[in-house]
Amino acid sequence: MTTTKLSNYEALCLDWARRFLDMDPKLLFRRVPELTPEGAYLTLRHFGKKYGIEKKTGKIIDLKQAAPPPVTIQLNIYTLLGYAREGASLTGEWVPFQELKGARPFGPDFVKGNLLPFARTFSGHVRELKAACEALGGKRLSHSDAGYELKAFDCIPVRFLFWDGDEEFPAQGNILFDRGVTDFIHVESTVSIATVGLVRLAQEAGLPLDGRAFQM
């Protein structure tokens, strides 16, 4: 008989599922108002896709696929449930990742794992990026060649800004967060939120994500 060893991320998801079962439902609904009771699940959307947290087990499934989503998505949802503060609110001040509270040590990895792949993936593909953002319900912004605000969660909007390259300069991308995002989720999770958003955009655009730092 052989057993499959869980990865560290899979084990962490199981730990979060157990922690979910100990959460006070009333407090949880106050901290994450977008949670919606639907039969055996509490549901919410992450970049437009609907996921369910099973009330009896704490496990997360992609409701359309009837299967567990990638662990990156599961951990984004769990950390939202675990870290959102009661009364948290957005500030309206948009800042790059490294200006978030506690983010500076992760800044170089964010550039390498998210901003550079963003720029390389959509270089020469502005039209595809715009179409992908609109397919995900993005709100068009006036700045950059293709700037859109997307909802990672209802309470966490994210801005994706892209400038295409030319003969002199390579394409550039930036990802902005509301300064208050760390009142809703752990700062490290904003990195994986950006990654999930980029993966979804690349999938919608029909392009391979160029240089993604880790698998999802």
Mean pLDDT, consecutive 10-residue stretches, the chain (216 aa), reads: 72 97 96 97 98 98 96 98 96 97 95 96 97 98 96 98 92 98 96 97 95 56
Q: What is the pLDDT, as a whole number, of residue 1?
A: 47
| Whether residue 141 sits in one domain with residue 42 | no
Q: What is the pLDDT, as a whole number, of residue 167?
A: 81
Does residue 177 form part of some domain? yes
CA of residue 84 relative to chain centroid, distance:
15
Q: Which among 117, 148, 71 is positioned nearest to 212, based on CA atoms?
A: 117
| Whether residue 120 sits in one domain with residue 25 | no
| pTM exceeds cut of 0.85 | yes
Amino acid, res. 180: G
Name the residue range of residue 24's domain: 8-83
Q: Which among 26, 64, 30, 31 is positioned nearest to 45, based on CA atoms?
A: 64
- Give the 3-state secondary structure of residue 61: strand
Q: What is the pLDDT, as a whole number, of residue 187?
A: 96
Task: Yes or no: say if 120 and 210 are a contact pair by the CB < 8 Å rule.
Answer: yes
| Whether residue 174 sits in one domain with residue 111 | yes
| Whether residue 117 sits in one domain with residue 72 | no
| Whether residue 127 sits in one domain with residue 106 | yes
| Whether residue 196 sits in one domain with residue 127 | yes
Q: What is the pLDDT, as a whole number, of residue 127?
A: 98
Does residue 1 form part of some domain? no
Does residue 27 form part of some domain? yes
Q: How many CB atoms lie within 10 A of CB 96?
A: 17
| Whether residue 112 sits in one domain with residue 61 | no
Q: Tokens 């949670």 map to which residue? A: 35
Q: What is the pLDDT, as a whole number, of residue 183?
A: 97
Residue 215, token pair as written in the block: 């698998």
Q: What is the pLDDT, as a whole number, of residue 4?
A: 61
Q: Which among 131, 113, 116, 106 is positioned nearest to 206, based on CA atoms?
A: 131
CB-count burial class (<10 Å; 0-12, 13-18, 19+) for 215:
exposed
- Tell me the chain's radius of gyration from C-alpha atoms: 18
